[in-house]
Amino acid sequence: MRRLAGIFLFLALGCGAAHADNCGKSREYLLGSLAGDLPMPAQSYDELFKTCVAASAMANVKDAYLLKDGGIAVVPKQDSISATAATLSQFCNSYPRATLRFLTRKDLAVTKTVLGIIRMSSDASTSCRKIKGLS
């Protein structure tokens, strides 16, 4: 029984790290191969990484990525209006100056690489600043 509990604990901890994996991959791309072409200072992407990891741990988030323009892109577990609204509300309450972009199935079908996702724009997304009335 203890052995089984240990296996479940190991799997649970491993799953949390897997969610943050694309946050790390996208940060590596941004600070590595795209470093000379970034709109923000490299230090800003380190802060954005922390936000990305936190977003990846949210209940309705399957995966998360840093975007070159400073936004966070997420793949939702449930693509319903209520689930999206709840995730956006949770994210904006925690990060009122950030921008969250939900990746659609079409986005993922067209852009199949981390590098492609990083280059996506978050301009079409409403920033948390606007949602919370801060701008």
pLDDT, tens digit (0-9, with 9 covering 90-100), for 7-28: 333 333 344 444 469 999 999 9
pLDDT digits (tens, 9 = 90+) for 92-128: 999 999 999 999 999 999 998 999 999 999 998 989 9
Q: What is the C-alpha separation between 69 and 67, in angstroms, rounded?
A: 5
